[in-house]
Amino acid sequence: MSRAEGVQEDGPTGAAPQAAGVPVHVGVIMDGNGRWATSRNLPRVEGHRRGVEALRRCVRAAREIGIRYLTIYSFSSENWSRPVSEISELMGLLKRFLRHDLAELHSANVKVRIIGERTSLSRDLCLMLDEAEALTRDNTGLTLVVAFNYGSRQEIASAAQRLAAEVAAGTLKLEDITIEALGGRLDTAGIPDPDLIIRTSGEQRLSNFLMWQAAYSEFVFLPIHWPEFDHAALLGAVQEYARRDRRFGGLTARTGS
């Protein structure tokens, strides 16, 4: 996967100034599909299907609220330990989402970016991911970042390996390994760090999601399962974010100011 290096991106070209209290970047850990289904005596796969519907609602809501970057944790590198049948269904849902929703995302000026490792993925899936990025590369609206086959520890380790290789090759000095240098070699290079991370299902942990990038993120944990997520849930989380005082190791900066 190609990764940009250097400074972070500005907002989309020609975008209006960010509204007060609205986070620029929101990360979402979409948790609870299986538990939602089990609580209703439905197969787990039905929970995942309903989760895709919730994702569509989330993307529409993010655009309407004015969020510029939305990162969704769709499949972690640890999810390979799930039953083969469930993994197959998850892969199928992703493919269907890309086939059926890509044109609509493109027409809505949404830019799609995929982060995570692709070496273990099937060729047809990799081609679909490449197509989604290529088709929407020049779009200037919401950037939808899909964390697929992603794990933050592996991402950080891979970035460190790239820095070590550059030092060994003589193209980078040891003293030039800085926070910014490592950040510029992460999967998310060029994307601002998340202001807000939302997790559904009542769990209160990151689960190997954007651990480097979340150093100063605000967190909102919702008791609902992901298939229940809608515009009201996202708006409520954003309103909670706007009420908080953000501290970056120093002075307070109100989110709504």
Note whether 190 and 6 are within 8 A (CB): yes
Catalytic residue among 10, 33, 79, 130: 79
User: At 110, phi and psi to the nearest 5?
Assistant: -85, 135
Euclidean distance between CA atoms 23 and 253, whole angstroms: 13
Identity of residue 249:
G
* Catalytic entry in 10, 31, 33, 138: 31
Q: In angstroms, how far is the first alpha carbon of the chain from the final one? A: 38
Helix (H, G, I), strand (E, B) or coil at 148: strand
Instruction: Tell me whether residue 245 is one of the annotated catalytic residues.
Output: no
Residue 113, beta-bridge partner list: 145
79 is catalytic: yes
Name residues whose C-beta falls within 8 Å of residue 62's C-beta, 6 or more positions apart in sequence. Answer: 26, 70, 142, 234
Pairing of strands 252-254, 245-247: antiparallel
Backbone angles phi, psi at 74, to 5 degrees: -90, -30
Q: Which residues are catalytic, by number?
A: 31, 79
